[in-house]
Amino acid sequence: MVKMPVRETASGPRAVVRCDDLGVAPYSDSDDYLFRPYLGAGHAATLDRIAAWMTEAGMTARVDAAGNIVGRYEGRHPDAPALVIGSHVDSVRDGGRYDGMLGVMLGIETVAWFAERGHRFAFAIEVVGFGDEEGSRFPVSMLATRAVAGVLGDQDLALVDAAGVGLAEALDGFGLDVARFADAGRKREDILAYVEAHIEQGPVLEAEGHALGVVSAIAAQYRFRAVVTGVAGHAGTMAMRLRHDALAAAAEMVLAVERIGGAGPEDLVATVGRMEVGPGVPNVVPGAVTFSIDIRAGVDAVRDRAAEAIQAALPEIAARRGVGLDLTLQQDLPATPCDSGLSALMADAVSEVTGAAPRVLVSGAGHDAMVMARLAPVSMLFLRCRGGISHNPAEAVEAEDVQVALEAMTAFVIRFEQTGAGAGAALTQEER
């Protein structure tokens, strides 16, 4: 890959270059590919580099109690509430360089653009790089984001990774205390809104010729675990008519999931992404199969109807084929609508910089915004990515698109100020 020259002033191309810089060791835990799990060595090195860039952009930088990096560009009044721009800094194993990280870099470039012009607002601007959106290390996702939003609930923090390292030990390596993890929580009155720029992770924008899109909602999601129990037997001696083949039954179930997902509106998707077959040898009729079912839609009702149809179809297949079936709900995430007022501001900003009406779409993937919506109104800006590829080293963006995204982000912030969305921040503590 040929590196673009780094501009000295805020720019989209500089955001791309910085994502590329962070795509290799020491900012990755692997020398061979990008893998930046939460609280790992690559994470630590990345936070140091991001903190330096935040400082250069005119912010103060700190790491909060949950291991998130937070930069703050003060407003005209000390301790003013903040407009937060953020995304995540962690990566899946052998992932791409722009998923999450590009949103953080765009946040820094947005602040740098205003700082270069000496523009301060009635509100502060904060840029947050969340530590673990992907859940690539511990068996939960968005743990540090939930800490910021104050929605940890009864989450057990005695978590252990695949190598046997506990969350408490990992935090201690960052100079943090698991007993103070919830101290990362923010007060509602201190956060005016949350904005996240992110690659689409899908092919719609590229297919339709749009550089940017405005997200209307983050899809509702169900995740089920299906266990099919048949009878294992010798592949050469068990007659076909007498078989209770768990894999053949599971295959029909997978096709039913696909059929139901394809019969709904455009935003409905249903996926079987993982399957384990037992005993898993060539000359034995499979006796047990475990597979995942992921169902997503832009609104809860559409997702729920699809789930009901699947829950009706699969037991019928199991009964007809003489196999057992156990369906367990593992994850239930409601749809997260983006704030209509903020979305209108973002749509106007995109229209201004592109000269066209923005493409509005539902995000099928989960994002930090869906957690932050529990704390403050949220808005999301999508950037097209080449081929719709994500979570893959082939993940790619065009520098020109990122420049347009930066222009849209700065236009959004100006509109946020002009429309009075942050008007409450203009009051002093006494006036409040």
Distance (Å, whole) CA 155 – CA 399? 40
Task: Say if residue 119 carries a ligand binding annotation.
Answer: no
Distance (Å, whole) CA 142 – CA 315? 33
Task: Say if residue 391 carries a ligand binding annotation.
Answer: yes
Task: Say if residue 88 carries a ligand binding annotation.
Answer: yes
Question: Quick one: how far is CA 166 from the chain centroid?
Answer: 23
In this structure, are residues 385 and 86 in contact, taking their beta carbons and an 8 Å threshold?
A: no
Task: Say if residue 392 carries a ligand binding annotation.
Answer: no
Distance (Å, whole) CA 121 – CA 138? 39
Cα dihedral 391/359/263/386 (nearest 10): -30
Task: Say if residue 417 carries a ligand binding annotation.
Answer: no
Task: Say if residue 283 carries a ligand binding annotation.
Answer: yes
Task: Say if residue 368 carries a ligand binding annotation.
Answer: no
Q: What are phi and psi of 376, to 5 degrees?
A: -155, 160
In this structure, are residues 184 and 69 in contact, taking their beta carbons and an 8 Å threshold?
A: no
Label each residue of the chain as H, E or C.
CCCCCCCCCCCHHHHHHHHHHCCCCCCCCCCCCCCCCCCCHHHHHHHHHHHHHHHHCCCEEEECCCCCEEEEECCCCCCCCEEEEEEECCCCCCCCCCCCHHHHHHHHHHHHHHHHCCCCCCCEEEEEEECCCCCCCCCCCCHHHHHHHCCCCCCCCCCECCCCCEHHHHHHCCCCCHHHHHHHCCCHHHEEEEEEEEECCCCHHHHHCCCEEEEEEECEEEEEEEEEECCCEECCCCCHHHCCCHHHHHHHHHHHHHHHHHCCCCCCEEECCCEEEECCCCCEECCEEEEEEEEEECCHHHHHHHHHHHHHHHHHHHHHHCCEEEEEEEEEECCEECCHHHHHHHHHHHHHHHCCCCEEEEECCCCHHHHHCCCCCEEEEEECCHHHCCCCCCCCCCHHHHHHHHHHHHHHHHHHHHCCCCHHHHCCCCCC
In this structure, are residues 197 and 107 in contact, taking their beta carbons and an 8 Å threshold?
A: yes
Task: Say if residue 296 carries a ligand binding annotation.
Answer: yes
Residue positions forming the annotated binding site for Zn(2+): 88, 99, 134, 198, 391
Binding residues: 88, 99, 134, 198, 223, 283, 296, 391
Instruction: Detail the residues annotated as belonging to a binding site for allantoate.
Output: 223, 283, 296
